[in-house]
């Protein structure tokens, strides 16, 4: 809470892997603050959790019934109408560090760029954006690129 008794945005990034993400962590926190301000979000709470390949595979199999490793999974708590709070409890974003490393190499950009992309992708899912239909995909992917470009993390980074 701030001095006026209003809750500010609350978010944490957790690294549950053996990968050293200390070089990227400050920039990722800055990006989240930037994205929340750009989207005019106040009083939101969520977490970003970096996990390994086995953990995200098990989560994907258990909760999405898809038996494969994926790069990012978002669990949006606002989808649950029984949760009522004085702030928006958005949920959790899980990102597979190994998959991010592979995709950074595959797409020819930095590890930071890939982590940033996946984090913003997950955040937009928590906010209700989706890409199941072509029109929704255009909106979501354009918003991702707008946030990343405005922050200064472009594809070549």
> What are 82's two structure tokens?
């029984």
pTM, entire model = 0.89
Which 3 state secondary structure label does DSSP give 14?
A: strand
Going edge to edge, which strands form the sheet with 72-76? 10-15, 44-51, 88-96, 72-76
**Would you put residue 33 in left (φ > 0), alpha (ψ -120 to 50) or beta?**
alpha
Locate the domains of the chain by residue range.
10-151
Task: Summarize the confidence of residues 11-28 as an average pLDDT.
Answer: 97
Class of domain 10-151: alpha beta
Is residue 70 within a helix (H) or strand (E), and if so which, with residue range? none
pLDDT tens digits for range 64-116: 999 999 999 999 886 555 656 677 789 999 999 999 999 999 999 999 999 99
Q: What percent of the chain has pLDDT over 70?
A: 89
- List the one residue out of 77, 74, 116, 111 whose CA is nearest residue 94: 74
**Residue 131: what pLDDT?**
83
Neighbours of 26 (CB within 10 A): 9
Query: Does residue 57 surpass a pLDDT of 50?
Result: yes
């Amino acid at each position: 809470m701030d001095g006026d008794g209003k809750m500010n945005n609350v978010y944490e990034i957790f690294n549950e892997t053996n990968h050293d993400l200390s070089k990227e962590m400050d920039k990722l926190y800055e990006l989240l603050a930037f994205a929340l301000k750009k989207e005019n979000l106040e009083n939101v709470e969520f977490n970003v959790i970096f996990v390994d390949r086995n953990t995200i595979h098990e989560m994907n199999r258990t909760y999405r019934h898809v038996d494969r490793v994926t790069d990012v999974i978002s669990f949006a708590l606002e989808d649950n109408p029984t949760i009522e709070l004085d702030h928006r409890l958005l949920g959790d974003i899980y990102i597979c560090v190994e998959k991010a490393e592979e995709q950074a190499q595959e797409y020819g950009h930095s590890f930071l760029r890939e982590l940033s992309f996946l984090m913003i992708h997950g955040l937009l899912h928590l906010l209700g954006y989706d890409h199941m239909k072509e029109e929704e995909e255009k909106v979501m992917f354009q918003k991702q690129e707008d946030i990343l470009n405005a922050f200064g993390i472009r594809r070549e980074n």
